[in-house]
Structures are given as structure tokens and as C-alpha cells.
Homo-oligomer: A and B are copies of this chain.
């Protein structure tokens, strides 16, 4: 797989907007990480440091080590953290983890792909109220949505650890048009999340991804991003 930095340097040179570069820190030595962080264009680049997917994976730099390294730099891009609602179901502590990351310099959060709306609302709620109770401002939190066009993509989502309510799994698997099923649910979830975050007073954003390189899923994700842009504009007025 191409390194995100290579992709950014070779294929996005004409792009003038902000760029978020994910760094799977385990793949780099501390020296490599430090070099890239120090050299990154702070006017355009933000970064999200990501830990290993499992404890068994061999790593060159641990996430805690990368955060310490980041904290010691004078020149560095703005930092974001990952938020996983599924982990919150198990530990009930993801909101504490977010606050720790915030204390370590995170200025925003990006969620894993959301299909279980209640799990996502619960972690956002726990985070927002924990910030309120401690008198600190919550950081902008970006929830990720992604259409799912096939049983194969659904399988990949399970492998990624994304919770999908069973009724929706069934609809996607049984439907003649799984992409439309999942697309409709992503739009419904976007509506609910926009209303929820606004009521909660939590600064938020919505990120739309394609989980695969299938053309229909990429096009659906572009369509979904446009629709959500309209939802956000309409309700903001």
C-alpha cells in the first residue's frame, strides 16, 4: 500500500486546501517520525497519529512514544486523534482516552466508520458531558460515514471492527441493491448525528469515505458527501 505521505507529495501537489495525513506510527522509527513532523507544512498539513491495530503487531514506535515525541517538538503540524465507539462499548472509557489525547495536544478527533448510531451517540455524549463537568471545551469531533456496496465490503468492515446492527447487515446481504440500502442508512445517520451534536453543543464535522477502490462505492461516497454538505448548510441557517 502506498504511504500516505508519498500519495500526498506525488498526487496532491495542486491541492491548496488542508490535508490530514494519517501516520500509523508503528511503521516508522522515532527518528523518521520526528523528521516528517518537523518538516511538514504547518499551513496545510494536519496529522493523526494512529497506533497498531493489534497488540501482536510488531512496532517500531508505540503510540504513547509518538505522542511524547510530538510534545517535545517546536515545529509540528496540528494533531488529531482517533475515536472508536466500538472500543467504548467494551471499556466504557473512550471518552477518558479522548481527554488524555486532548491533554497531549489533540485538537480534533476523527471516528472510525459509524454504522451503529447509538454506540456513536453514547461516546459523543459521554465525551461532551465529561468536558462540561470538568469545565474544558470539547474539541471538534468528526464522525466518519462510508457507504457499503457489497457483502465483500461488509466482510471487510467486520474485519475492521465496525459494528453494524444485525437488521442492517441482513438488509445489505439480502438486498438486490445493497449500496442504496447502506447509503440511505448513512444519510439517516448523518441527519441524526447533525441534530444530536447541535443539541449537545458539541463542535462536529462529518467525514465521508469509500472503504474500497470500487468505482460505485467511490461515486456513492462523493454523492453522500454532497448531500451531507446540503444538510449542514440547510440546518445551519
Interface residues of A, Cβ cutoff 8 Å to B? 116-118, 121-122, 124-126, 129, 165-168, 170-171, 174, 196
Contact = CB atoms under 8 A, between A and B. Distances in A.
A167 B122 contact: yes
The 6 closest A-B pairs by CB, nearest first: A125-B167, A118-B165, A121-B167, A122-B166, A122-B167, A125-B170
Nearest to A121: B167
Contacts of A168: 121
Instruction: Determine chain A's interface SS by DSSP, over half rule.
Output: helix
Nearest to A129: B170
A200 B224 CA distance: 24
A15 to B, nearest CB: 36
A87 to B, nearest CB: 15
Nearest to A174: B129
A165 B126 CA distance: 12
Given A118-B118, A121-B165, 6 more contacts: A121-B167, A125-B167, A126-B166, A126-B167, A129-B170, A167-B196
Contact of A167 (B124, B170, B171, B174): B124
A143 to B, nearest CB: 13
Nearest to A89: B166
A166 B94 CA distance: 14
Contacts of A116: 118
Nearest to A199: B171
A124 B125 CA distance: 28
A13 to B, nearest CB: 43
Of residues A116, A118, A129, A167, which shows the largest number of chain B Cβ atoms within 10 Å of its Cβ? A167
A121 B196 CA distance: 21
Contacts of A174: 129
Contacts of A129: 170, 174
A78 to B, nearest CB: 28
Of residues A118, A121, A129, which shows the largest number of chain B Cβ atoms within 10 Å of its Cβ? A118
A117 B122 CA distance: 14
